[in-house]
Structure 1
Amino acid sequence: MSEIWTSVLNTVGLAWWVEVITETPRCTYYFGPFSSGKEAEEAQGGYIEDLEQEGAQGIKVNVKRCKPSSLTIDDEVSQMNSRNGSRALSSQL
C-alpha cells in the first residue's frame, strides 16, 4: 500500500526526493521517491556514504518535493556540450 501511495505522490509531483549535489564530480543526483520528508531524511545518510566511498567531494544535500526528469545530471558533460555547441554556432557566423 505504501508503494502505491508513493507512486501516486510521485505522479502528481508531490513525492519527496533526496537531491545530492557534488562539486567533484560536478553532478546532481536524485534519490527517491519517498512518501514523506522524514522518510527521505532518514535515507539520505546511506546515499551520502555511498558517494563519499566513490570519491565524491563537496557534497550538499536537500530534501524536497519535486519530480526530477533525470535521476543523475552530469553538469560537466552539460557544460562541455554547451561549449561545443557555442563553438559550432560561432563558427557558422
Structure 2
Amino acid sequence: MKTIWHNLKEVLINTFDYLGLAWWVEIVTQNPRCTYYFGPFLSSSEAKLSSTGYIEDLEVEGAQGIAVNVKRCKPNTLTIADDLGEKIDRKVQPAFGGQILS
C-alpha cells in the first residue's frame, strides 16, 4: 500500500510541477550571491519542513545572509550564481527517488 501512495504522490507532484502549481523552496544567499530552488513539493508545509535541511547544508558550506521563501513557481534553473552571472543546472536529489524534474 505504501508503494501505491508513493507512486501516486510522485505523479501528483510531477503534474503540479508541470502546471506550475507545485511548491518550491527559494533560498537567496548574499555571500555567495546565489539563488537556489529546491523542490517540487505538494504543499507549502512539506516545503517548509524540508527547507531546514537545505539551510543547514548552505550554512555548513559557508553561505551568509540566507533568506528563505516558500512559493508556488516553476523555476527554469535550480541554481543562479549572481556573482558569476551564470546559471548552473545543479543535479539535486529529488524528494522522492525516481522523480523527474522538468
1:78 equivalent in structure 2: 85
Task: Name the % identity.
Answer: 59
Of Structure 1 and Structure 2, which has the larger fraction of its residues in helix? 1
Question: SS in structure 1 opposite 2:83?
Answer: helix
1:62 equivalent in structure 2: 69
2:96 equivalent in structure 1: none
TM-score (norm 2): 0.76
May I ask how many residue pairs the two structures share in their alignment?
A: 79
Q: Which has the larger radius of gyration?
A: 1
- Unaligned residue ranges in structure 2 (runs of 5+): 1-7, 87-102
1:32 equivalent in structure 2: 39
TM-score (norm 1): 0.83
Shift of the alpha carbon at 1:14? 0.5
- Unaligned residue ranges in structure 1 (runs of 5+): 80-93
Runs of 4+ with >2 A deviation: none
